[in-house]
Amino acid sequence: MKTYMLAQFQLRYGMANVNRYQEAMVLVKELFESEGVRRRQGMITRVGRLYEAWNLWEIEEHGHVSRAMAKLATTPKAVQAMEMLAEVVEHEDVHYLDSLPFSAEN
């Protein structure tokens, strides 16, 4: 069974904010993957609520992200990424998920 973190971001209105978000997520991906947190998918809503972004991360277990963030929190790239996200994200919602036995990648 695999464990995941699903992060949903409601971005501020406008394509400039989407572009800034994408820049920040390049840094976040690099930082997280250096700690073994692997992004499986990054998506944005095409039909539905505008400017809603989703990221699915594969993690070791539910404490993995907290440990990675604590370790990276004061690095210059992490500070830069968090500042960029703070500019464009209105709301964030995070879910920790476990795969089910019938999942394709179990």
Quick: pLDDT tens for 91-100: 999 999 998 8
- pLDDT recorded at residue 106: 54
- pLDDT recorded at residue 48: 82
**For the ranges 5-14, 23-32, 43-52, 84-93, which has the lowest average pLDDT?**
43-52
Could you give phi then psi for residue 18, rounded to 5 degrees?
-65, -45
- pLDDT recorded at residue 30: 96
* pTM of this prediction exceeds 0.75: yes
Task: Round to the nearest angstrom and report the end-to-end CA distance of the chain.
Answer: 5
Virtual CA dihedral for 77, 81, 82, 84, nearest 10 degrees? 140
